[in-house]
Amino acid sequence: MRRKHQRGRLEKFVVIAAVLALVVVVLAITSSFQKRADAISGVDQKKFTSYDVQLAMKLLDKNLDGKSDCCGADLGEYIAQEDMELPLPDGTVMGALDKTKKKHHVHADFKVFIDGQAVDFSDPKYFVKSAFIHVEDDHKPGTGDVLHMHAENVPLWMFFESQGMTFNKDCFTMDTQQYCNQGNKKVSFYVNGQPSDAYEDYVIQDDDQILISYNDGSSVSQELNQITSYAPLYKVSA
């Protein structure tokens, strides 16, 4: 009887300890999210989009403490500063945003075709989802046909991720639809008329002509001919 009583007390103790441990974890998680929320509350939303802020949080604060992993600075202050750089998953570093549009302002014409149909990026729903790389209402020829890049070393995946899309050598995903390599259909990537194996990691250069195509390859030549040449119109004088 005594052993049974002791066993009962031990079981109660274990349950209480488990509950307390769970409470501690929940409080820690809640505190982390609150710190992160506080950290970004002062970020200038006119300078960075919500996507930019979320990406910076993911890349700069992996331990969720509201501080920049690289230097321990307040996350919000670090994101808001003029010379913020982002460490990318491949080990490279993306440069600071150039709001002047004079130090680093690169343009490239691009097209995305899915089974022969072009994605219409002139739809306003696609405009400026990231301050670093985007399409915008240009009020001139090329709206939706020209990518604008405002920092050094911005990979192409950032543009598509900001749109809720994914792009790599195996699949292109948009609007919950996934177009993956199967049978004679595959995702192809061309830069200036030539196949490229850089895919989502490619960093656009001035006046590039980019094609992303998902099909059996039979219409690629026609798709390449439909890429515009508007990028040179966007040169900004220093």
Tell me, yes or no, whether 133 and 199 share the same domain.
yes
Tell me, yes or no, whether 124 and 222 share the same domain.
yes
C-alpha closest to that of 57 among 76, 83, 72, 41: 76
Query: Does a structural domain hold residue 26?
Result: yes
- Find the helix or strand (DSSP H, E) in which 231 lies: none
Tell me, yes or no, whether 135 and 222 share the same domain.
yes
Q: What is the pLDDT of residues 174-184, one digit of tens each?
A: 998 999 999 99
Tokens of 77: 């202050």
Query: Does a structural domain hold residue 193?
Result: yes
Three-state secondary structure call for residue 188: strand
Tell me, yes or no, whether 111 and 56 share the same domain.
no
Total count of domains within the chain: 2
Tokens of 61: 């604060």
- Find the helix or strand (DSSP H, E) in which 158 lies: helix 156-162
Tell me, yes or no, whether 60 and 149 share the same domain.
no
Q: Is 32 exposed, middle or buried (0-12, 13-18, 19+ CB in 10 A)?
A: middle
Query: Does a structural domain hold residue 91?
Result: no
Tell me, yes or no, whether 122 and 80 share the same domain.
no
Beta-bridge partners for 84 = none
Query: Does a structural domain hold residue 94?
Result: no
Q: Rank 22-36, 49-63, 101-115, 192-206 by mean pLDDT and report only the highest.
A: 192-206
Tell me, yes or no, whether 72 and 12 share the same domain.
yes
Q: In the chain, pLDDT over 90 holds for what percent of residues? A: 55
For residue 20, the model assigns a pLDDT of 57
For residue 14, the model assigns a pLDDT of 61
User: What DSSP string describes 80-145?
Assistant: HSTT--EE-TTS-EEPPP-TTSSSS-EEEEEEEEETTEEP-TTSGGGBTS-SSEEB---SSTTTTT
Cα separation, 3 vs 103, in Å, equals 78
Stretch 92-119: mean pLDDT: 90
Stretch 220-237: mean pLDDT: 89
Q: What is the pLDDT of residues 117-136, one digit of tens each?
A: 999 999 999 999 999 999 99
Tell me, yes or no, whether 172 and 209 share the same domain.
yes
Query: Does a structural domain hold residue 169?
Result: yes
Tell me, yes or no, whether 67 and 185 share the same domain.
no
Three-state secondary structure call for residue 183: coil
Query: Does a structural domain hold residue 147?
Result: yes
Question: Between 40 and 145, whose confidence is greater?
Answer: 145
As a whole number, the mean pLDDT across the chain is 84
Tell me, yes or no, whether 137 and 223 share the same domain.
yes
Query: Does a structural domain hold residue 89?
Result: no
Query: Does a structural domain hold residue 97?
Result: no
For residue 146, the model assigns a pLDDT of 96
Asked if residues 73 and 100 have their Cβ atoms less than 8 Å apart, the reply is no
Tokens of 23: 């409470």
Domain span including residue 40? 2-84
Cα separation, 117 vs 223, in Å, equals 9
Tell me, yes or no, whether 128 and 65 share the same domain.
no
For residue 24, the model assigns a pLDDT of 47
For residue 66, the model assigns a pLDDT of 80
For residue 204, the model assigns a pLDDT of 98
Residue 22 has pLDDT above 80, yes or no: no
For residue 140, the model assigns a pLDDT of 77
For residue 40, the model assigns a pLDDT of 53
Asked if residues 76 and 56 have their Cβ atoms less than 8 Å apart, the reply is no
Tell me, yes or no, whether 115 and 224 share the same domain.
yes
For residue 104, the model assigns a pLDDT of 84
